[in-house]
Amino acid sequence: MTYSEKLRHWLEAELIDEQTKQELRSLKDEKDIEDRFYRDLEFGTGGLRGIIGAGSNRMNIYTVGKVTQGFADFLNKNFTSPSIAIAYDSRNMSEEFAKAAALNLCANNIKVYLFESLRPTPMLSFAVRHLKCSAGIVITASHNPKQYNGYKVYGEDGGQVTDNKAKEILSNINEIQDFSDIKNITEEEAINRKLLCYIGEDVDKEYINRVKDLSIRKDLINEKAEELNIIYTPIHGSGNIPVRRVLKEQGYKNVFVIKEQEMPDGNFPTAPYPNPEEPEVFKIALKEAEKIKADIIFGTDPDCDRIGVVVKDSKGEYKVLTGNQTGMLLTHYILSSLEEMNKMPQNGTIIKTIVTTDSVRNIAKDFNIEVLDVLTGFKYIGEKIKEFEETKEKSYIFGFEESFGYLAGTFVRDKDAVIAASLICEMTLYYKSLGKSLNEALVDIYERYGYFKEELLSFELKGKEGQEKISKCIEYLRHSMKPSINGVNIIKKLDYKTSIEKDLINIEEKIIELPKSNVLKFVLEDNSWFVVRPSGTEPKMKIYLAVRGISLKDSENKISMFKNSVMELIEEAFNY
């Protein structure tokens, strides 16, 4: 069916409401019409994510309904009496999509536990396991701009569904041919039939207690928590209540919340791109920092699974730590604290993604701890936690990815900014008790383990043409790339789509023991590397760069030169 035929189908369908049809009739731009209908909004391994609006390639109650009906069919095929937990964040239409999905599932005789108001994504992950559900859904588009929303699917282990299960769910979704196939029920009937239950304080309290139990230095917190000055911004998201509750119950009394960004607001009026990776979201917080003499500043994204940290550097200037830097600090703090207190587990393991800093290997080696690499996406870290739980061969200690996602403990199976906020405050308090700032602690880590430097480049390419351009670029790099970059030879090429790692010096190949993914990694003879991958959640191609220097200045110079060389290569690939 062409995009024009799809548009006509939507306009003629009796079950499409008049408001949606009016939106479609008002469209004048042919490119916009094509983008809305040239495909169905893609259900990937994480679920859906797209721009809110009318059309098959948009987030609306009809695309949500189709996916939910397919998911309901999957659950009824695989479970005798399936149940599901649902959460949603502060984004526009999140509550509406969550309730629509809940009622559709109830209409399919599936018991639904729906949070009574917005909650962070990690609390959904916790609820799935705590309530012994068959699955979970959270309505969020994470850190995307305000026009986006999304639909993330979780398995019974509390982790996002990974590749094989996602394919099975997608097969069921593809069987839904018409809007009339989407079942529905009223809220009143769902409650009367005891198919719809609302989640409240009981689950919240258990989750908060589990977060507090992860503290390593409880005595330090009990004695000195009042000495720490904290600035926190929820960036108009779902973290406001749980983050503040955890810190309050731990005894942190000087927690200053940025009022302008405190309340949930899907339009994100002070942060059009509500991403704690972006320094702009901390502008208001930094104005308060000097007055309050903050020891630590941090912010969480709308669904509170990512956290960004701001510290004062040696020049007295505030800077946003990279996701890798925060991960290095947390890794070292957790491992050194566990060792000091004789709490290090046997066969302890750190898990990171293939695009995350290699400095963690040096840190972990110092404590005789193994580091495992997984594909980009926290679902693969969650998958490893489940594997460890089943085989008992390894013990999970900590996992993180460079995109500001961290997890300690195993009662949640996704990145968790509530847990991270608690540990970051504990870590900052510990270093303060030693007379050190977090920045000084970071410098110590660099001095001891090496000056690793990483950077991320993003190329935004919207619409059908953009997706085609990304595909062509990656294929060029896969098959036609030169053997060196700026005179430095490429010694390894890892193709995660074919699962082959090529040693270009010894002319050898070996199998990559990870799921297949359209990702390429190139390692150079000076140990620098870069990774190319299409984003799974945005119309972007991402390039991850990494170098190692003998000093901070040396590593900064190296990453600058390397970035320029890789940029030239990518431009060449785009123009091929």
Whether residue 566 is contained in a domain is answered as: yes
Q: What pLDDT shows up at residue 23?
A: 95
Q: Same domain, yes or no, for 508 and 553?
A: yes
- As a whole number of Å, the CA-based R_g of the chain is 24
Quick: pLDDT tens for 547-564. 999 999 999 999 999 999
Quick: pLDDT tens for 234-264. 999 999 999 999 999 999 999 999 999 999 9
Q: Same domain, yes or no, for 372 and 495?
A: no
Binned at pLDDT 50, 70 and 90, residue 466 comes out as: confident
Catalytic residue among 90, 142, 359, 517: 142
Q: Same domain, yes or no, for 461 and 555?
A: yes
Mean pLDDT over residues 526-530, rounded?
94
Q: How many residues does the chain have?
A: 576
pTM for this model (two decimals): 0.94
Q: Is the pLDDT of residue 484 over 90?
A: no
Whether residue 351 is contained in a domain is answered as: yes
Whether residue 291 is contained in a domain is answered as: yes
Q: What pLDDT shows up at residue 45?
A: 67
Q: Same domain, yes or no, for 245 and 391?
A: yes
Q: Is the pLDDT of residue 29 over 70?
A: yes
Other beta carbons within 10 angstroms of residue 227's beta carbon come to: 13
Q: What is the DSSP string of 107-124?
A: HTT-EEEEESS---HHHH
Mean pLDDT over residues 420-429, rounded?
98
Q: What pLDDT shows up at residue 1?
A: 83
Residue 85 vs residues 100, 124, 158, 485: alpha-carbon distances, Å: 14, 7, 10, 49
Separation of alpha carbons 305 and 272, rounded Å = 18
Q: What pLDDT shows up at residue 575?
A: 80
Mean pLDDT over residues 432-454, rounded?
96
CATH number of domain containing 477: 3.30.310.50
Total structural domains within the chain: 3
Whether residue 535 is contained in a domain is answered as: yes
Q: Is the pLDDT of residue 201 over 80?
A: yes
Separation of alpha carbons 372 and 393, rounded Å = 13
Whether residue 91 is contained in a domain is answered as: yes
Separation of alpha carbons 490 and 502, rounded Å = 10
Q: Same domain, yes or no, for 326 and 251?
A: yes
Q: Is the pLDDT of residue 177 over 80?
A: yes
402, 429, 449 — which closes off a domain?
A: 449
Mean pLDDT over residues 325-348, rounded?
97
Q: In this prediction, what percent of the chain has a pLDDT beyond 90?
A: 84
CATH number of domain containing 260: 3.40.120.10
Q: Same domain, yes or no, for 470 and 441?
A: no
- Burial pattern 166-185, b for ≥16 Cβ within 10 A else e, equals beebbebbeebeebeebbeb
8-state DSSP, 259: G
Distance of CA 117 to the CA centre of its chain: 21
Mean pLDDT over residues 5-25, rounded?
94
Q: Is the pLDDT of residue 461 over 80?
A: no
Does residue 142 carry a catalytic annotation? yes
The beta strand positions in 358-495, using DSSP E, are: 370-374, 395-401, 405-408, 451-460, 484-485, 488-495
Mean pLDDT over residues 343-351, rounded?
96
Q: What pLDDT shows up at residue 537?
A: 64
Other beta carbons within 10 angstroms of residue 440's beta carbon come to: 15
Q: Same domain, yes or no, for 240 and 372?
A: yes
Bridging pattern class, strands 148-154 and 47-51: antiparallel
Q: What pLDDT shows up at residue 368?
A: 97
Whether residue 20 is contained in a domain is answered as: no
Q: Same domain, yes or no, for 189 and 292?
A: no
Query: For residue 450, is it left (φ>0), alpha (ψ between -120 and 50) or beta?
Result: left
Which residue's structure tokens are 């690499």?
373
Full domain range(s) for residue 325: 207-214+226-449
Residue type, 76: N
449, 475, 491 — which closes off a domain?
A: 449
Q: Same domain, yes or no, for 443 and 458?
A: no
404, 421, 449 — which closes off a domain?
A: 449
Q: Same domain, yes or no, for 377 and 244?
A: yes
8-state DSSP, 519: -
Whether residue 32 is contained in a domain is answered as: no
Q: Same domain, yes or no, for 264 and 394?
A: yes
Q: What pLDDT shows up at residue 60?
A: 97
Q: How does the average pLDDT of the chain come out, rounded?
A: 94
| 106 and 114 Cβ atoms separated by less than 8 Å | no
Quick: pLDDT tens for 297-318. 999 999 999 999 999 988 888 9
Quick: pLDDT tens for 363-407. 999 999 999 999 999 999 999 999 999 999 999 999 999 999 999
Q: What pLDDT shows up at residue 486?
A: 83
Q: Is the pLDDT of residue 86 over 80?
A: yes
| 71 and 182 Cβ atoms separated by less than 8 Å | no
Quick: pLDDT tens for 213-229. 999 999 999 999 999 99
Separation of alpha carbons 267 and 339, rounded Å = 45
Whether residue 552 is contained in a domain is answered as: yes
Half-sphere exposure of 448 (CA within 13 A, CB side): 16
Q: Same domain, yes or no, for 459 and 482?
A: yes
